[in-house]
Structure 1
Amino acid sequence: MSDVRGLVEQYIAVWNETDAAQRRALIADVFTEDAGYTDPLGAVTGHDGIDQFVGGAQQQFAGLTFSLPADPDAHHDLARFQWHLGTPGAEPVAIGFDVVELADGRIARVHGFLDKMPG
């Protein structure tokens, strides 16, 4: 479980990394080459698609950060976890729930759900 926790923490770090080169390096570490990401706002595949999607979210929610409110729950090659988006110490402006499929210690697929969104 500690390996999954570490991978999920790296996943959250991808969403918080605003330096493009460092974010790309994190994406390469966290995701398989052909990884897919799907949530109600979009669906992308591969490192380029994930990088562009994350960059767009960072522009939309500038100044806010993602965090893990609790440990992920995992079994076999699956993990699920809730995330918060907001300012540390304040009520989150967005809350989501992701299910990830794992392959060889990296994320192969993300299935994202949005529980709370601003406006």
Structure 2
Amino acid sequence: MTETIAPDETSGHPAPSTDASGTEAVLDRYVRFWNADTEAEQRSLAAETFADRVEYHAEIGVLTGTQALMDFRDQFLDHMGTASLQLRARPRFHHDRARIQWEIVTGEPDGDSAGSSFATGTDVLVLDGNGRIASVTTFLDRAPEGFDPAAHH
């Protein structure tokens, strides 16, 4: 598919595109960042994907910078073990925004299952003028069992 959205001349932001060289490529790197096997791979993906001072807004708090995102992921994996972020639907785009719906699956897949669903959510990403992710706002659509949002304020 090579659908392209016309530039928004009022915002000055690049026109989002659903071709492999545009916004979909950034979103692919975003998912790969969360699923990276090594710190080196994650650091490389972060450099290509995120603006220098990316902000991540979630119920657990606000994180700033790629190192904070990497630390957050490492803490999650230390607590949960194996986990992966998977898309639940085709990403949606307009102007300098993208929306992805995701699921976190924990545990090792075996021959009969793909692991256990931990949580589902939606991320709204804002792209900067260079096509990198400047901010992420994440919403839990189905919170993990026992999650208390008040405990994170």
Q: Name the TM-score, length of structure 2 as normaliser.
A: 0.71
**Aligned-residue identity in percent:** 33
1:1-119 matches, cutoff 5 A = 1-2=18-19, 3-86=22-105, 89=114, 92-103=117-128, 104-119=130-145
The code of the aligned residue for 2:46 comes to I
The code of the aligned residue for 1:23 comes to Q
Name structure 2 gaps, 5 residues minimum: 1-17, 146-153
Distance 1:63 1:106, change over 3 A: same
1:59 Cα shift? 2.2
Distance 1:13 1:62, change over 3 A: same
Give the distance between the partners of 1:67 and 1:114, measured in 2 at CA. Answer: 14
Bigger radius of gyration, 1 or 2? Answer: 2
Higher helix share: 1
Name structure 1 gaps, 5 residues minimum: none
Give the distance between the partners of 2:80 and 2:44, measured in 1 at CA. Answer: 22
1:72 Cα shift? 0.8
The code of the aligned residue for 1:93 comes to F
SS at match of 2:93: strand
Task: Let me know the Cα RMSD of the aligned residues.
Answer: 1.7
Number of residue pairs matched by the alignment: 119
SS at match of 2:117: coil
Greater shift, 58-67 or 6-15, is seen at: 58-67
The code of the aligned residue for 1:72 comes to P
Q: Runs in 1 of length 4+ with deviation above 6 angstroms?
A: none
Q: Name the TM-score, length of structure 1 as normaliser.
A: 0.89
